[in-house]
C-alpha cells in the first residue's frame, strides 16, 4: 500500500478503492485488528493508532450500508467523461446530463459535490448484485473538485470505453460523502499530527499531566471582575462555579487546561455556555466554539446572539464583526434567524465584498468625500462645464460651427452674384458673424458665477443662427446655382438640420446651480460613505481595525450628519462658493462659519482614516472569508468544519476551544479542533448519560470507537463541574431520570416547583404531569422495506390524543407545543402520515414527530413517547439503552405521557421494567382501556378483532399447550399464539424468513432479517426468550397469550391451512402457508405434555371457534353499552 497522504495513507485511494464487494460486505475484514480501546495510552503514537482499524471498519460498514440501499440512492446520468492529468492518477472530467429521479419519483435528484463517493455503472442498479450481474463492471469514484473525479480503476478495456456512443448509458449512483471521515483519518495520522499543535492532545493521554491535578480558584482582581459580570445572569452556585473555573483557567497562558462541565437535561447548559462565551469575550480571549451537529451549533450560537443583542441594546450598537458562524446553511436554517443570518460567513462576505472593490470600495468612498470637501468648485466646473457644455456644447457646437463657417464662406466665394439675392448675401454675412460670436463664447474661460450667463448667451446666439439659417435655406433653394455650389448647399442644409436638433437638445438641459450641486453631491457621497462605514463597523472583526480608527468611524458618521444638517440652511450659491474656496479663512463670514468649521472637522477625520484604516487589498470571496476567520474573536461551527481553519494563513492564535455536546463526539473527531494552532485551553461541555456518537459497525462499537473524550476523562475520575439544578421538567417528570441516571444529584429549580408550572391540558389524572398509559392491544410489526418496527394501535391512540389536545387548545386559546418521540423510524413515518398537515400553521398549537436522536437538545410543553414494542418475549431492542431512555424521558416541560405495552416492558428486565414499576408505585400507571376514547380507537384500529380476541381467548381459560413428539422431528412454536391474516389487507403481510432455531443444546440461531436494533447487545433475559420472539413474527398479525408461553410439537412442516378472514367486509377465504424448517429434538419432554395430533387439531379448531363466537359477543356487548 502506497502512503500517499501521511503515515496511514489516503483513506479513499489506499483503502476504499482497493476493496472488492466481498471485502466491503465481509464483517470480519478487520476482525483481528479491531481491539478495544483502553482508558490510558503509553504514547502519542499508540493513542492515535488505536483508532486506525476501528475507523476503517466503521467506514467499511458505512459503505456496505449504502450499497445495500443502492436501489433507493440518488443518481444522475453522465453524458461525457474524459481523461485528464497523468495516466497513473486516474483523473477524469465528467459532464452531467439532465438530472434524474427514479420513475416512481422516490429517488432524489443528485448533483455531485466535493467529497462524494459514487458508483459509476452502465445501468441503474436495484440491488448491489446488479453491479456485477452478467459480467458487468463498475467503478468507485470520488469527487475531488467541481466535475473532476478520481476512479478506483481505469476505464480502459471494458464497456465504459463506449461512452462516446450515445446508446451506452452511464450513471453516477451516490453512496456517501467521505469528507468527515477523511478529516478524522488525517487527524489520527501520526506523521501528520506531529506537524500540528499537540499541546492538548499530549495532555489528555498522560494521566500524570497537570490537567489531572485539581486546581484551586485563586483570589485575584480578575476573579472579582468575573463575579461582578456574572451577577447579571442570575446563576445558581453550580453555574457560577463552572463559569468561574473555566474563565480563570483561560487567563493562565503558562499552563494548558481542560475543563469538563457536566450538564444534565434542563440544567441550563446552553445558557451557561453562552454566558461563558460572553465572559471570555469580555476578557479578550479568542474562542472557537464547536459542536457535533449543525443543529447544536445553531442552538448555542442563537443563545449567544440573544445575549449579545440584549447587551448591545444598552450600549446602543450591535457590533457583529467578532462573531462568525460557518457550516451548512440549510441544516442550520440560517434564514429563519436574522442575527444568525448576519454572522454567517457567506452572508458576511456578501455584505463586505462591495466595500472591498477597488472602484467602489471603502478607499473610493473616503477619497470621494475628501475630494468633495477640498475641490468642490472644480468638481462643479468639471461636472457642468466639461460634462455638459464642454463635452456637449464645445464638441458638437464647435464642430458644427466650423463646418457651417467653412461651407458658408465657400458659397459666398464661389456663388455667382446673379444666383443669389442681395438679401441672401446679407444673411450669409450675418450668419458668419453669429457663428464667430458663438465660437468666442464657447472657448471663453469663465468662472462658475458666469457660467449661467454663458449658457444663456450661447442659447440666444444659437437661436439667432437657427433663424438666419432658416431664411438662408429658403433663398438658396430657390436660386439657380451650379452643380458644385449645389453640393455645398446640400451639405449646408444637412448641417442646418443637425444644428436644429442640437439646439433642441441643448434647450432641454436643466442646469443645476452650485447650491443644488453641493447638496446633491454631498448627499450621494455621504450616503455611500455612511453605508460603507456602517457595514465595516458592524461586520469587520475588531482586531482588523485599530481602536483609533474605530472611534474615528463613529465620529465621522456623526460629523457627516452634522454637516448635512447645517447644509440644509438657507445658503445661496455665493455663500457656498465662499465655504469651499481653499484660501478662505474661518472668520470671513459669520453666516457660513459653522458650516466651514464642520467641513474642516470632517476633513481631519477623513485624513486620519485614509492613513489609519488598513484592510487587505482583496475583493475575492475566498480572500474576504479568510480575512474574517483570521481576525474574528468568537467562531461557531461543527467539529468537522474546524478543519477549514487549518488552511487559513496568518490567523491570530486561538486562546480557548469550547466543545458543546462533547459527549456526542467520537474522541478521534475531537482531535480535529484540538490540533488547531496554539490552542492551550479546552472546555468540554456535555453529558455522557445522554446519547453518544452513532457507530454503525458492531465491531467498532465494541472497540469503543464511539466513546467520547468527555466520557473517557470522566471514567478516569477527571473532575467535572456539575450543573445540579434543573429548570425544565415538572418534578413528577424529573423524579425517575434523576434517581436512575444521576443518583439523585439533581435538584428541581424554584421555577418548576412553583404551582404555575403545573398545567392541565386534558381532563383526568391520566393526562397529568407524568403518566404511563398501557396500550394493551398494540402489536409491533416490521416495516417491509427498512425492517424498522411500528405499532399502528399506538399510532391511532396518539392521533386521537393530538386531536383532543388541539380542540382543547383552540377552545381555551392556550398555547401548547407537543413533541412525539419514537424509537423507530417506521413509527415516526407512520405517525407523520397519520397526522398529515391537519394541525400545521396554527398560532396556538404546534407539534413535531421525531426519533430519540432527533429530539436530543430539544424540549416541548408536552412529550408523548411511543414505546412501540409489544411482544410476549419481553424484548425491547435498543430501548434497553439507558442513554436513549434518558433522552426520551427528559424532553418535556409540563407533561410526559409514555405509551407502551405493560407486559412487554415489565418483562424486559431493563430500565423499562423499573419505569413501569415506578409508575405503578407512584400512582402514575393508567390502563388505556379505562379511557373511553382510547378504548374506541384501539377497537377501531384492531377492527374489533386481533388482540381483543386474545383477551376473550384468555377468559375461556383454554390451553392448547400440549406437545407431542413425531418421528419427523419437532417444530417449536408458541402454543398460545393465534395466527391470523391482516384484517385490512392480507397482501401486505410480510414474508416469512426461513430460520434455524437454537435448541437447549445451544446450537446457533441464524436470522436473515436485518435488525434495526443491531447496534445494541441483547440483554441476558432477552437471550432466553429470543427464539420465541423470532417465531412470533412469522405472520403479519400474531396474537400472543402473555401468561403461559409453552411449546407444541408438530411434523416437519406445519401449515395453518386456510384461515378465514372473519371481517364483515367479505366472505372470501384467504390462506397463508408457513413453511418451517425442523429443529433438533429437545433434551426432555414431560409425558403429561403429550397428546395425539388429532386431539391437537381438534383443540385448535375449537379454540378458533370459541374466539370467533367470543369476538361477536364482545362486539355486540360493546355496541349495546355504547347505545
Helices of type H across 161-218:
179-187, 190-193, 199-205
Residue 1025 lies in a domain: no
Kindly tell me the burial class for residue 356, based on how many C-beta atoms sit within 10 Å of its own C-beta (0-12, 13-18, 19 or more): buried
Indicate if the pLDDT at residue 853 is higher than 70: yes
Question: pTM of this prediction?
Answer: 0.75
Name the E strands within 169-311: 171-177, 257-262, 287-291
Per DSSP, the three-state class of 1074 is: coil
Spatial distance between the Cα atoms of 833 and 849, rounded to a whole number of angstroms: 10
Q: How much is the pLDDT for 787?
A: 77
> Is residue 1041's pLDDT more than 50?
no
Question: Is 4 inside any structural domain?
Answer: no
What number is the average pLDDT over the span 453-475? 63
- Highest mean pLDDT: which range of 567-571, 599-603, 783-787: 599-603
Question: Residue 1107: pLDDT above 60?
Answer: no
Q: What is the enclosing helix (H) or strand (E) of 657?
A: strand 656-660
What is the distance between the alpha carbons of residues 599 and 603, in angstroms, rounded to a whole number? Answer: 6
Among the ranges 308-312, 387-391, 529-533, 1056-1060, which has the highest mean pLDDT value?
A: 529-533
Residues 687 and 597 in one domain: no
- 850 in a structural domain: yes
- CA angle 366/370/373 to nearest 5° reads 145
**Residue keyed to cell 465528467:** 94
Q: Please give the pLDDT value at position 162.
A: 54
Q: Residue 61's closest CA among 97, 35, 34?
A: 34
pLDDT for res 1084: 35
Query: CA 807 to CA 837: how far, in whole Å?
Result: 15
Residue where one domain finishes, among candidates 484, 507, 530: 507
Lowest mean pLDDT among 353-362, 697-706, 1062-1071: 1062-1071
Pair 207, 687: CB distance under 8 Å: no
Using the predicted structure, report yes or no on whether residue 226 has a pLDDT greater than 60.
yes
Q: At what angle do helices 593-612 and 547-567 cross, to 10 degrees?
A: 150
SS3 344: strand
Domain assignment of residue 321, yes or no: yes
pLDDT at 922 over 80: yes
Please tell me the distance from the alpha carbon of residue 317 to that of residue 538, in angstroms, as a whole number.
Answer: 9
Position 996 confidence tier, pLDDT thresholds 50, 70, 90: very low
Quickly tell me which residue has 443528485 as its cell.
Answer: 110
Number of separate domains in the chain: 6
Exposure string for 281-291, b = 16+ CB within 10 A, e = fewer = bebebbbbbbb
Sign of CA dihedral 775, 776, 778, 780: positive
Taking residue 13's Cβ as centre, other Cβ atoms within 10 Å add up to 18
- Looking at 487, 507, 527, which one is the last position of a domain? 507
Q: Are residues 958 and 1089 in the same domain?
A: yes
CB 592 within 8 A of CB 575: yes
CA-CA distances (angstroms) from residue 755 to 18, 82, 235, 729, 1101? 65, 72, 22, 13, 59
Place 673 in a pLDDT band, splitting at 50, 70 and 90: very high
- DSSP letter assigned to residue 113: -
- For residues 350 and 451, state if they share a domain: no
Let me know if residue 157 belongs to a domain. yes
Among 563, 590, 612, the domain boundary falls at: 612
Judge whether 78 and 96 are in contact, CB under 8 Å: yes
Same domain, 786 and 934: yes
Distance CA 420, CA 423 (A): 8
Tell me which of 353 and 254 has the higher pLDDT.
353
Cell of 709: 473524550
Supply the mean pLDDT for the chain.
78
333 and 397, same domain (yes or no): no
Per residue in 615-645, pLDDT (tens digit) is 999 999 999 999 999 999 999 999 999 999 9
Max mean pLDDT among 368-377, 581-590, 1033-1042, 1053-1062 falls in 368-377
Rounded percentage of the chain residues whose pLDDT exceeds 70: 69
Higher local confidence (pLDDT), 375 or 739: 739
For residue 617, count CB atoms less than 10 angstroms from its CB and return exposed for 0-12, middle for 13-18, buried for 19 or more: exposed
Residues 928, 882: one domain? yes
Rg (CA), the chain: 42
pLDDT, position 1076: 35
* Domain range enclosing 338: 197-357+623-722
Q: What are phi and psi of 45, to 5 degrees?
A: -65, -45
Same domain, 323 and 414: no
- Examine residue 1 and state whether it is found in any structural domain, yes or no: no
Query: What CATH number did the domain enclosing 920 receive?
Result: 3.40.50.300
What is the pLDDT averaged over residues 240-248?
93
pLDDT bracket for residue 887 (50, 70, 90): very high
Residue 1024 resides in a domain:
no
How would residue 208 be classed by pLDDT, with cut points 50, 70 and 90? confident
54 or 967: which leads in pLDDT: 54
C-alpha cell at 849: 414527530
Q: Verify that 961 and 1083 share a domain, yes or no.
A: yes
What tens digit of pLDDT does each residue of 155-165 get?
A: 875 555 555 45
Asked if residue 1034 lies in contact with residue 1026, where contact means CB atoms within 8 angstroms, the answer is: no
Question: Do 778 and 891 belong together in one domain?
Answer: yes
364 domain residue, yes or no: no
Residue 775 has pLDDT above 70, yes or no: yes
Judgement on whether residues 1059 and 972 belong to the same structural domain of the protein: yes
Please provide the size of the chain in residues: 1123
Same domain, 484 and 533: no
pLDDT score, position 1055: 33
Identify the three-state secondary structure at position 821: strand
| Positions of E strands within 671-813 | 681-686, 720-722, 725-726, 747-748, 770-774, 780-782, 789-791
Residue 337 pLDDT > 50: yes
For position 1066, what pLDDT does the model report?
35
Asked whether residue 62 falls in the same domain as residue 81, the answer is yes
Amino acid at each position: 500500500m502506497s502512503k500517499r497522504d501521511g503515515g496511514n495513507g489516503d483513506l479513499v485511494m489506499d483503502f476504499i478503492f482497493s476493496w472488492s464487494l466481498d471485502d466491503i460486505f465481509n464483517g470480519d475484514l478487520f476482525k483481528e485488528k479491531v481491539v478495544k480501546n483502553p482508558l490510558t495510552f503509553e504514547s502519542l503514537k499508540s493513542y492515535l493508532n488505536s483508532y486506525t482499524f476501528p475507523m476503517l471498519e466503521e467506514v467499511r460498514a458505512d459503505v456496505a450500508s449504502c450499497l445495500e440501499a443502492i436501489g433507493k440512492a440518488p443518481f444522475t446520468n453522465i453524458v461525457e467523461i474524459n481523461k485528464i492529468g497523468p495516466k497513473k492518477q486516474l483523473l477524469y472530467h465528467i459532464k452531467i446530463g439532465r438530472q434524474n429521479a427514479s420513475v416512481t419519483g422516490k429517488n432524489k435528484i443528485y448533483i455531485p459535490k466535493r467529497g462524494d463517493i459514487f458508483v459509476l455503472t452502465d445501468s441503474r442498479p436495484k440491488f448491489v448484485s446488479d453491479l456485477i450481474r452478467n459480467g458487468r463492471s463498475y467503478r468507485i469514484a470520488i469527487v475531488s473538485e467541481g466535475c473532476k473525479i478520481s476512479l478506483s480503476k481505469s476505464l480502459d478495456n471494458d464497456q465504459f470505453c463506449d461512452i462516446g456512443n450515445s446508446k451506452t448509458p452511464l450513471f453516477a449512483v451516490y453512496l456517501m460523502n467521505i469528507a468527515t471521515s477523511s478529516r478524522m483519518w488525517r487527524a489520527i495520522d501520526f506523521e501528520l499530527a506531529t506537524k500540528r499543535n499537540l499541546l492538548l492532545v499530549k495532555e489528555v493521554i498522560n494521566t500524570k499531566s497537570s490537567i489531572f491535578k485539581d486546581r484551586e480558584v485563586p483570589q485575584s482582581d480578575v476573579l472579582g471582575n468575573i463575579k461582578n459580570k456574572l451577577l447579571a445572569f442570575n446563576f445558581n452556585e453550580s453555574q457560577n462555579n463552572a463559569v468561574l473555573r473555566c474563565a480563570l483557567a483561560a487567563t493562565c497562558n503558562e499552563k494548558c487546561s481542560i475543563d469538563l462541565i457536566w450538564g444534565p437535561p434542563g440544567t441550563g447548559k446552553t445558557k451557561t455556555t453562552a454566558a461563558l462565551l460572553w465572559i471570555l469575550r469580555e476578557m479578550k480571549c479568542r474562542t472557537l466554539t464547536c459542536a457535533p451537529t449543525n443543529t447544536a451549533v445553531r442552538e448555542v450560537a442563537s443563545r449567544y446572539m440573544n445575549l449579545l443583542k440584549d447587551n448591545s441594546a444598552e450600549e446602543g450598537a450591535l457590533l457583529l464583526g467578532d462573531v462568525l458562524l460557518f457550516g451548512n446553511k440549510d441544516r442550520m436554517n440560517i434564514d429563519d434567524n436574522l442575527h444568525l443570518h448576519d454572522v454567517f460567513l457567506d452572508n458576511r462576505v456578501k455584505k463586505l465584498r462591495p466595500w472591498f472593490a477597488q472602484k467602489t470600495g471603502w478607499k473610493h468612498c473616503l477619497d470621494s468625500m475628501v475630494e468633495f470637501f477640498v475641490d468642490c468648485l472644480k468638481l462643479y466646473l468639471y461636472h457642468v462645464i466639461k460634462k455638459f457644455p464642454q463635452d456637449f456644447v464645445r464638441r458638437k457646437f464647435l464642430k458644427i460651427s466650423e463646418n457651417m463657417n467653412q461651407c458658408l464662406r465657400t458659397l459666398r466665394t464661389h456663388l455667382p452674384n446673379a444666383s443669389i439675392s442681395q438679401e441672401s448675401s446679407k444673411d450669409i454675412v450675418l450668419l458668419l458673424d453669429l457663428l464667430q460670436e458663438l465660437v468666442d463664447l464657447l472657448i471663453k474661460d469663465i468662472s462658475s458665477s458666469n457660467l449661467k450667463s454663458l449658457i444663456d448667451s450661447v442659447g440666444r446666439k444659437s437661436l439667432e443662427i437657427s433663424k438666419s439659417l432658416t431664411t438662408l435655406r429658403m433663398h438658396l433653394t430657390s436660386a439657380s446655382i451650379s452643380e458644385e455650389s449645389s453640393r455645398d448647399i446640400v451639405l449646408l442644409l444637412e448641417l442646418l438640420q443637425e444644428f436644429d436638433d442640437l439646439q433642441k437638445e441643448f434647450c432641454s438641459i436643466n442646469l443645476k446651480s452650485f447650491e443644488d450641486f453641493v447638496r446633491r453631491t454631498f448627499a450621494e457621497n455621504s450616503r455611500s460613505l455612511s453605508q460603507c462605514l456602517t457595514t465595516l463597523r458592524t461586520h469587520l472583526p475588531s482586531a482588523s481595525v485599530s481602536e483609533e480608527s474605530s472611534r474615528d468611524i463613529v465620529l465621522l458618521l456623526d460629523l457627516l450628519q452634522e454637516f448635512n444638517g447645517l447644509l440644509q440652511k438657507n445658503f445661496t450659491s455665493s455663500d457656498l462658493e465662499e465655504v469651499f474656496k481653499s484660501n478662505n479663512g474661518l472668520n470671513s463670514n459669520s453666516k457660513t462659519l459653522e458650516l466651514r468649521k464642520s467641513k474642516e472637522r470632517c476633513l481631519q477625520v477623513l485624513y486620519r482614516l485614509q492613513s489609519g484604516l488598513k484592510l487587505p487589498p482583496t475583493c475575492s470571496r475566498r480572500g474576504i472569508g479568510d480575512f474574517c476567520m483570521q481576525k474574528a474573536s468568537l467562531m461557531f461551527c461543527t467539529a468537522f468544519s474546524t478543519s477549514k481553519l487549518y488552511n487559513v494563513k496568518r490567523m491570530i492564535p486561538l486562546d480557548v476551544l469550547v466543545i458543546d455536546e462533547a459527549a456526542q463526539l467520537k474522541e478521534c473527531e475531537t482531535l480535529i479542533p484540538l490540533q488547531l494552532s496554539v490552542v492551550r485551553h479546552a472546555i468540554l461541555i456535555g453529558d455522557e448519560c445522554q446519547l453518544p456518537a452513532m457507530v454503525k459497525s458492531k465491531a467498532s462499537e465494541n472497540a469503543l470507537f464511539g466513546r467520547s473524550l468527555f466520557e473517557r476523562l470522566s471514567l478516569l475520575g477527571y473532575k467535572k463541574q456539575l450543573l445540579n439544578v434543573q429548570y425544565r421538567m415538572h418534578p413528577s417528570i424529573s423524579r425517575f431520570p434523576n434517581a436512575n441516571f444521576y443518583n439523585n444529584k439533581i435538584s428541581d429549580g424554584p421555577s418548576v416547583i412553583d404551582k404555575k408550572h403545573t398545567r392541565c391540558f386534558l381532563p383526568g389524572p391520566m393526562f397529568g404531569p407524568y403518566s404511563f398509559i398501557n396500550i394493551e392491544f398494540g402489536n409491533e410489526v416490521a416495516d417491509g422495506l427498512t425492517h424498522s418496527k411500528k405499532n399502528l394501535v399506538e399510532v391511532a391512540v396518539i392521533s386521537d390524543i393530538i386531536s383532543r389536545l388541539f380542540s382543547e387548545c383552540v377552545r381555551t386559546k392556550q398555547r401548547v407545543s407537543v413533541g412525539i418521540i419514537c424509537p423507530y423510524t417506521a413509527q415516526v413515518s407512520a405517525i407523520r402520515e397519520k397526522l398529515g398537515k391537519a394541525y400545521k400553521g396554527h398560532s396556538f398549537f404546534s407539534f413535531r414527530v421525531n426519533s430519540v436522536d432527533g429530539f436530543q437538545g430539544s424540549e416541548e410543553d408536552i412529550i408523548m413517547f411511543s414505546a412501540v414494542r409489544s411482544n410476549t418475549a419481553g424484548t425491547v431492542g435498543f430501548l434497553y439503552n439507558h442513554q436513549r431512555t434518558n433522552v426520551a424521558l427528559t424532553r418535556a416541560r409540563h407533561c410526559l405521557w409514555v405509551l407502551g405495552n405493560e407486559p412487554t416492558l415489565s418483562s424486559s428486565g431493563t430500565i423499562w421494567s423499573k419505569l413501569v414499576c415506578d409508575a405503578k408505585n407512584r400512582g402514575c400507571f393508567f390502563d388505556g382501556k379505562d379511557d373511553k376514547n382510547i378504548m374506541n380507537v384501539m377497537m377501531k384500529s384492531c377492527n374489533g378483532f386481533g388482540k381483543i380476541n386474545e383477551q376473550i381467548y384468555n377468559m375461556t381459560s383454554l390451553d392448547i399447550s400440549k406437545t407431542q413428539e413425531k418421528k419427523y422431528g419437532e417444530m417449536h412454536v408458541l402454543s398460545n399464539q393465534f395466527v391470523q391474516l391482516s384484517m385490512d389487507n392480507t397482501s401486505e403481510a410480510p414474508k416469512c424468513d426461513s430460520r434455524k432455531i437454537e435448541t437447549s443444546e445451544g446450537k446457533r440461531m441464524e436470522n436473515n432479517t436485518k435488525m434495526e436494533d443491531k447496534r445494541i447487545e441483547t440483554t441476558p433475559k432477552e437471550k432466553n426468550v429470543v427464539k420465541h420472539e423470532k417465531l412470533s413474527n412469522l405472520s403479519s398479525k400474531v396474537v400472543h397469550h402473555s401468561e403461559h408461553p409453552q411449546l407444541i410439537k408438530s411434523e416437519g412442516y406445519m401449515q395453518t391451512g386456510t384461515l378465514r378472514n372473519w371481517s364483515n367486509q367479505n366472505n372470501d377465504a384467504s390462506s397463508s402457508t408457513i413453511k418451517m424448517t425442523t429443529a433438533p429434538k429437545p433434551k426432555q419432554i414431560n409425558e403429561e405434555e403429550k397428546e395425539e395430533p388429532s386431539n391437537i387439531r381438534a383443540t385448535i379448531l375449537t379454540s378458533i371457534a370459541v374466539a370467533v363466537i367470543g369476538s361477536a359477543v364482545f362486539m355486540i356487548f360493546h355496541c349495546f353499552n355504547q347505545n
